[in-house]
Structure 1
Amino acid sequence: MENVFLSSSFDRSIQILLVLSSNCSMGTEIHSSYGSLIPRITISPSPTRISTTFNFSSSGYSRRRLVYGCSCSNHQVVTEELSISTYNRRIRYCCRTGGIDEAMSILAELDSLGSHPDPLSYVSLIETLNGLGRTLEADALFQEVVRFGLHGSYPLRLYNALLSGYLRKGQLELALRVLDHMEIKNVEKNQETFEILLSYYVSAGRLEESWRVVNEMKKRKVPLNSFVYGKIIRMYRDNGMWKKALGIVEEIKEIGLPMDVEVYNSIVDTFGKYGELDEALQVLRKMQSSSDPKPNISTWNSIIRWHCHHGAVDTALELFTMMQEQGIYPDPRIFVKLITLLGEKGNWNMISRSFASIECKEHRDTRAIYAALVDIIGQFGSFHDAEKLVGKLKSEGVAPSANMFCTLANAYAQQGLCKQTVKVLKLMENEGIEPNLIMLNVLINAFGTSGKHMEALSIYHHIKESGFTPDVVTYSTLMKAFTRARKYEKVPEIFREMEASGCTADRKARQLLQNALMVLDKRH
C-alpha cells in the first residue's frame, strides 16, 4: 500500500481503517473542524473505497478530500481539493439563476463543514431573499454576517439590501434598526441608501421623513438626481400642491439636469391625479415625438390608471392598445383595473378582445397570469378555486412571487371575495413567501368591499402587531371600509391615527374624512 502523508498522531488509526476496508464493506469519512478530527463510519455496498475528509474552517484553508480506492491486487490514492471559492461561486450562480433554495442548501453544507461564505456571497443571498419577500431568512443571514464580522468590502450593499427588503414589506421599525447599526459601525449612506429611504417615505405618505432625507442629501452634498426630483414632485402632488410640483421642472432645467423618464412619469402622475388628463396626454405625446426619453411601463401604467380612475374607460382602452403596439405589455394590476371596469359595464366582449391581443404577443408566463385574471374577474367558472388557479399558473411555468400573489388577491378583493383573498394569502405563505404590506392592504380592501368592517379593522391591528408600519393606503382603505359600512364616526378617529403615525393624508383620505364629517353634521 502506498504511504499517504497524514498527521502523525493519526497515522496508525488511518492505517487500521484501511486494513479493515479490505475485509469488509465499509466507508469512512473523517472531518476536521478547528483542528480536531472526528471519524464518521458508514457502511457501503462494496469494499472498494474509503474517503477521508479534512476541513479547516479557518480562512485560507480549503476543503481537502483524500480518497483511497482499493481493489484486491493494488491500491490507488486520489487527492481531490474542493476550495471554499467553489462553494461561493456555486452560491452566487444559484442566486443569479433563481435557484435560491439550492443556494441555501449549499450554504447549509458549507456551514456543516465549519466554514462560511465570503461577503459577496452573503450579499447575493440577502439581496435574492429580500427580492422574494423572504426577509426573515435575509435578516438571519445578516445577523450571521454581523456575528462573524464578515462584512469584507461589501457592508453597504448588505445594509442597502436589508433596507430595501424591509421597506418593501412595510417593516419600518426593522429598517430603522438597520440604520442605527450603520451609524454604530460608521457606515456612511450612499446615493442608493437615500433613494431607498426616499422612495419608501414618499409612497407611504410620510412627508416629514421625506424632506428630512432630501435635506440630509443636500447637507452631505449627495447629488439630487432626476430620481430624487421625481420624488419631490410626488411629495408636492400628494399634498395638493400640483402647480408647485410642476414648478420643479423649471428648477431642473435651470441646473441643467437632463429630463429623464422618472421626472416625466412624475409629471404624468401629477396631471393624472388631479384630473388634468389632456395635459397628461400632451406629456406622453412629447415623450414619444421628441428626443427625450421614451415612455416606459410606468408611464403607460400611470396614464391608463388615471383615465380609469376618472371614468375615461374608452381612452384607457385606446392607450392600452397603443402601448402593446409599441412593444410594451401591460402590468397585470392595470389589466385588473381595466377588466373590472369593463365587467361593471357588462362589456365582456371588450375583455375577450383585449385578452386575445395580449395572448398573441405576450410571453408564456405572463399570458398565464392574464388568463387567470380573466377567470377571476370574468367569472368564467374557475375563479372560486384559488388553489387550483395558483396550481395552474405553476404548471404553466409561472414562478410564485409576492407580486403574483398580490395581483391575484387584488382581483378577488375588488369583488369582495374575502374567502378567496384569504386563500391566496395562505397559498403565498405555503410557498415560503412572507406576506407584505401590499397583501395585507389588499385583505383590508377585500373585507371592506364585502361590508365586513370589523374584519378589516382586525387586519389593521394585525399589521401593527406584526411589525409592519401602516402607510397612507392602509389608512385610506380602512376609512373606506367604515364608510361603506356607514360607521362614519370611526373615520375621523382613523384619520387622527394616520396623522399621529407621521403619514400625510392624500386627496382620497381627505375626501373620505370630509364626507364622513358632513354625514355626522347632518345627524346632529
Structure 2
Amino acid sequence: MYASKGTANIINTVTRQGLLSKQLTASRPNTLLPAPTRSSAKLYATGRATFSANRQQQQQQDNSSQQANSLNPIQAWTGNNSAAIFQKYAGVRYNHSAAAATDSQQESASSSGQEATKKGNARILEAKRNRDLRKVEVEFKRMKDSGVELTSQTYTLVLDSLASLRRPGQPPQRLLAVYQEMIENGHRPSAYTYMILIHTLCKRDVEVQKTLMMINAKSSRTGDIPSNFESLQGENNAQKALAIFEAAVTDNRYQDFDTEVFNRLLRSLSQYGNTQDGLYVFEHLEKARSAEPNARTFAALITLYGKAGDIQGALECFNEYKTVRGQMGQHNPGFVYSALVDAYIKCGDSDAARKIIEVDSVNDQVETSVLTWNALMRDYCDKKNLDSAFDVLSKLKNDTSLPDPTAATFGPLLTALCDLNMTEQAQNIYDEMIKTDVSKSYNNLASYAHLLLESKQYERLQTVISDMSKQGLVPSDDLAEKFVLGLADNGNVSEAIDNLRKLYGDLSAKAFVKVTDGINQTAMHLATKVDNNLAQILEILEIVHKYGVRATVPVSEKICTAFNQVRKDPAAWDSLKQHIGVTQHFLMIEALFNSHHLSHEEFRNLAIDMTKAMIEVNIQPNTGLYARVGSRLVKHGDTEGEKMWQDFFEPYLKDPTPQSDPFRTASKTSDEKLMFRTTKSDLLTGKAMKAAVQGNLPECLDVLQNQIIAQKMVPTIEAVRDIIQIVGRDINPEASRKVYDVVSVAFDTMKDKAMRKRAHASTLSSLMNVHLQAKQYEAGRDYYKKLRNLDQNPDGNGYGLLMNSLPDNESTSQQVLNYYNELLVSNVQPTVYLYNVLISKLGKAHNLKQVIQAHKDMKKYMISPTAVTYNALISAFTRCGAEKTALETFHEMAKHAKFKPTVATYNNMIQFYVRHESNREKALEFFERARSSNVKPSSYTYRLLMEAYSNIVPYDMPTAYKMLNDMKKDDIKPEPRHYATLIYSYGLLQRDVQSAERVYEQVKKEGLELDDSVYRAMYETYVANNDMEQADKLKQFLADEPPILTPPKGSEF
C-alpha cells in the first residue's frame, strides 16, 4: 500500500488532469450501453470531459441509495439472450426496506424453524466441502420443498457452491438463476455474495474469449463455425458482472470488496476497450474502504486504453503508475510495462512497443518476462514482418541476459511461415519448438500439420501427430479426418487404420468417447473407402466397438455386400476365416440388423449364411441369435423365411438353459457372452412377440407372465421393447402399458443395478415413442421425464418424436434445439427421422441458419437422406426465402439414384414462386417439369396454379377457371378451397364484388358443401369493399349455422 488514497488521487484531484480528467463526454448512464459487435475495433470509444460533474452525480446517487429502491441488476443486462431469459422478471425491484424487514422476521422466527434452516445450511456446506454439487442442489431443493425457511446465508452457500464447483466451460446460468431467486424472495446480498458473482462471471468471460479465439483460428482454416458460436458471443458475462457491480454500488456493499474484485472486473472490461465503465469501476475502487489501487490496477487500466486505441490515455496511466510506484510496496513492475507494450501493439506502434522492452525497462531496471517478448513476436508475425520476428528470436536465443524462447515464442512464427507456405523454414522452426513445452500450442502445431497435409508429406505428418500425442494434444476432428483419409487415399490403408487406433487411444485417455464425436465419423468414412475388403472393414469396426460405437447404415450395408462377395470366392473365404473370431461375427450380425435396404429374402439368406460361416470357424450358434433373427422374420411377416430358419437352426436348439444376461450390450460384457448367452427366455420371448404380431395380446401376456417371469426368468429386453412398440401400434398405447406392467416386475429382480436401470429405460423409451406416435403428447412427455429421472435418454427416433410433439411456431424453435443439443451431449446416435423432424420444425420457425447446420451435421454423421429429408429441406429453404439453396437441393434430389422429386417437392417449389416470389413463369416451369417427369399433380397443386393465374398481376381469370376442368381430367374433384381462391382474387385483389358473388353462387349450384374457406373469403370481400351490411348478414348466418372447418393445406391467404 502507499501512503493514503489521497496520494494517488487519480480521479478526485482536479489539478491532476493528465490521466482521467477528460474521460467522459457525458454522465454515466444508469444502464449498460449495448455492446457493439465483436468485429468492432473497440467496444467503447474513449470520451473526453471533466469528471467532476460525473463524480458529483455519483455522490448524489450514493447519498440517496439507502432510501431508494434499486432496480434489479438483471434488468440492466444487455445482450440478445438476457432479455428473453429474464423477461418474466421485468418488473422486479429489490426493496432494501423489505429486505431489512425480511431479515428481522428471520431473526424472530421460531427456534424449530431456525434449527431446520441451520441443519439445511450445514448439509449444503458439507456437500460443498465434499465437492458434490449434485447433493448441494438436492439439499437446496429439499429445503424449499419442505418449507424450510431460506436465509441470505442459504443462498450465499448455494451460490458459493455453484461458483467454486462450476466446471470449466460451463455457462453460469444456474448461478444467475439462484441469484435471481434470492432477489425475488427479498434477501439482501452481502458483499461476499456480490464478490462470488462478479468473480465467476469475469472468470467465465475469460473462458469465452479464449474459446472464441480458438474457434476463429479453426474457422479460418476450415470455414466451419460451430453451432454454439452465437450463444458464446451472446453470454455477455462482462456486462452481467458490471450490472452486478452496479447493484453492489447502489446497495453500498462495494465498500467491503477487496482490490482483486475490482481488478478482475477491470481486466474483463479491458478486453473490450470499455473505458467508460472501466472508469466507473476505478472510481469506486478509490472510494472503497477495504481496497486500494495496486500495480495490477494500473496494468488493467493501461490495457483498457490500449484496447480502446487511446495510447495517450494508456501513457497517462503508465506515468501515474511511475509516480506512485515507490509507495506501493514490493511488487513486480514487469507486468505494468508489459501492459504498456501490449497497448502500443494494439495501437499499431510496434517500434514504440519494442523501445519499451529494450530501452525503457532496461533504464528503469525492470526485468521483462518472455511473455512480453512473445506479445511483440505475435505482432510481428501477424503483420508477416518475418525479419523483425527472426531478429527477436535470435536475441532471445543468443543473449544470455534475456529469457529463453518458449513454445509461445516459436508458435506465432511457425503459423506465419505456414500461412506463407514456407515449408522448409516452418520445419526448422518446428524442430526447435518441439523441444519446448508445446502442450498449449495446439493451433500453431495444427497449422503446421495442415501445411504438411496440403503438400502430402504424410511421413512427416505422422511424426507431428505423434509429437502432439506425447504432449496430450488430440487433433481436431477436421485434422484427424484429413490425416487418416489422406493416408488411405495415398494407398496406405493399413497405416490409416493403425493411426486411427492411436487417435482413439489418445482421445479416450482424455475424455469419454461419444457416438457423436468426429473421430467416429472419420472411422466410418475410412470404412466406406475400403474397397469391399471385409477384413479391413471389420478391423476398423473392432477399434470403435470397444467405445460403444456402431456401424452406420452405409457401412453396415457395405459389410453385407463384402460378406456376400467373399463367400462367393472360396479361396478368399479360406484366407479370411483364419482371422475371424467371435467379435468379428458379432459385428457382422449387427451389420445385418442395421442394413435398412435389404429385402426380406436378402435378410433371411444372409442370416443363414452368416450362421453357416460361424459354424465353419467352430463358433456354436446360440438360441439368442435364433430368437433375434426369428423375431425379425416375424416382424417382416416372412412365414416362409421363419420356417426355413427354424429348420436350419433345429440342430442347435438342444440346450435351452437360461443364462443371466438378457440385455445385449457390448460394453457391459465380453463378446463370448454376447454370442453364447441366453436361451430359454429368448425362445419364449420370441414366442410372446409372435403372439403380439398376430394381435393376440392375452397370449402374449400369458407367455411373459406365466412361462417366463413365473419361472424366475427375465424376458429378453430388446424383444420386450419391440413387443411394446408392436402392441402400441397395432392395438393401443394402453395395451403396451400392460406389457410394461408385467415385465417391470421381472426387471426389478435383476441384481445388476446398472442393468436394471437400463432395462427399465429401454422399455420406457419404447412406451414414450408409442404414446407420442399416438399423439398422446402429455403421456409421452411424462415417460420422457421418467427416463431422465433415471439419468437415461430416449433413442434418436424418440428425440425426433419429442420434437414432433411441439407446435409449429417460432417460439418452439429453442425447445427443438434444446432436445437436439441434449441428444448430442448425451451420446445418443441421431437418426434420419430425427433430422427430418428437426429440419422441418426449424424451417417452419424460419430458422435458416440452424436448418443449414442440421443438414451439415447430418452429412457429418454419415446419415443418408431420404425423400422426406429432401422435401423437408426444400420446404425449409423456400419458407426462409433461400431460393438458391432450395434450387440446389432440388437438383441434388433430381440427380439422386434412389429418390426423385415427388408431387410434394414440386408443390413446395410452385408455392414458393407463387406466394413468396409472385413469379408465375417460374411456378409454371416447375409444373411442366412435374408433367414431363410423370409426376401426377394433386388437388393442392391445382390450387396453387389457380393462385398463380388469379393472384399475380396481370390477372388471368379465364385460365384460372380452366384449372377446374383440367383437374377433373386428372381425376381430381374440385374442392371449396379452389373456389375460395377465385373469390379472394375477385373480391380482395380486384375489388369486383359481383364476380365474387357469382363464384359464391356457383359453388352452391355445384352441390359442394361450403366450408370455412369459402365463407371467410366472401366475408373478407364484403369487409374490404365496405359492404358491412352484407358482411353482418353473413356473420349472423354463420353464427346460426357454423361452417365446416377444413384442415389447412399449406399457407392460408
Q: Which has the higher contact order (CA 8 A, sep 6+)?
A: 1
* Rg larger in structure: 2
